[in-house]
Structure 1
């Protein structure tokens, strides 16, 4: 049973949320575990989106009254912390870093992209500051080890990882949005006609040149890899 994790004015208290209590809680054994509740919340978000995740909906999913869940997750902010860290447990890396930090960072980014595509709500949840839980910290530890050959100081390594994660989250959010557009052929065609009209009006010569350039492979994977290579290959460790 977790400690009382009620947030104060500054948000969720990470010590209360993630560290074990100094003394075990006495009383009747709880009917539900924090993991059961978190799993139910993740399932809701995966199928219906983050907006569907409420304490009431999660309580109904596990067969509990809403009030009984408040000692586990008093609000959605706390629930999101639990959800983000829970799914971060999927980011298991068994092999040690190769020593080629650029290659290792690219591998990490591809893992993150696949992970966020499995959970489309995650890129949005990561847009606000999250306090890393145990699963998130395990993946961060691997990323920092991959950056050891760079010689960067600790703060710079953390910045690089934050930059990489933000890039992946932003790209996945765009990718998910583009996939939704692709499901509507009429809208996609209208966007193409609009850009063609604008490019031909004479007031946007750079756009016209860009649109007339030879095409590239536009699969989501190929596009992500191109953008990622530009980011990682351009990182300066001096």
Structure 2
């Protein structure tokens, strides 16, 4: 059921969304634009999360009537598409590649992580299928160019990029949730005590051996780097 006065949706038409000019209707040109509406929605999501982004709230941010927004973004799903592509414009696309596809792909992943940490709502927004807009496509071009030395076919390259993006989104979502928990509880210390007790009970020898191994840096950056290296270094391009 539609909420907040929003009409029902039948899915986003990519051609209509991305290939039409930013002219929603005939008559007097309005005092706001699709870009301004999208930027306001991004600012709202950055500050309060995706749940705060409603057509009513965004309209208030740009000083427009709710109904006037529908000619730019007929529903929240369309607005989310616009938001994802808007922030994708922060990703650099012109820096030269090194020719080492693994190093270049890791750089792509780190750029994605940085973007998602700046916009914590982005991993959730990417959890459903999104149609790449012009800014997203520019970054996809860079990722595909990074994979050119592999000799893989186009379908495989697209699969790798999708796999990489899903990994980064999942990792950052977990990273954000863990940071939020750490700010409000002492769960990390309690969990460590619990696992130590379980490992000492004699019934979990594999866990006991794993916990007795030398510790590794647990900073978010170090953990992400380890996981990323395992993913990309293990890719089979044969």
Q: Same fold (TM over 0.5)?
A: yes
Counterpart Cα distance in 2 of 1:24 and 1:192: 56
Superposed CA deviations along residues 76-112 of structure 1, whole A, max 9, x for unmatched, are 1101000000000000232232211001001111111
Aligned to 2:116: 116
Count of residues in correspondence between the two structures:
232
> Take 1:121 and 1:50, find their aligned partners in 2: how far apart are those partners?
6
State the distance in 1 between where 2:8 and 2:168 align: 29
For residue 7 of structure 1, report the CA deviation from its aligned partner.
Answer: 8.2
Q: Which runs of 5+ in 2 are unaligned?
A: 1-6
Q: How does 1:78-227 map to 2 (within 5 A)?
A: 78-227=78-227
The Cα of 1:52 is off from its aligned counterpart by: 0.8
Normalised TM-score (structure 2): 0.92
Distance in 1 of aligned mates of 2:184 and 2:194: 16
CA contact 1:12–1:78 (8 Å) conserved in 2: yes
CA contact (8 A) 1:112 1:165 kept: yes
CA distance in 1 between counterparts of 2:176 and 2:81 reads 22
Equivalent residues of 2:24, 2:71 under 8 A apart: no
**What's the secondary structure of 1:41's corresponding residue?**
helix
Moved more, 25-34 or 225-234: 25-34
Considering only aligned residues, what root-mean-square deviation do their CA atoms show, in Å?
A: 1.8
Distance in structure 1 (CA, Å) of the matches to 2:215 and 2:184: 22
After TM superposition, the runs of 4+ consecutive aligned structure 1 residues lying more than 6 A away are none
Give the match for residue 233 of structure 1.
Answer: 233
> Tell me, which stretches of 5 or more residues in structure 1 are unaligned?
1-5
Q: Normalising by the residue count of structure 1, what TM-score does the alignment of the two structures yield?
A: 0.92
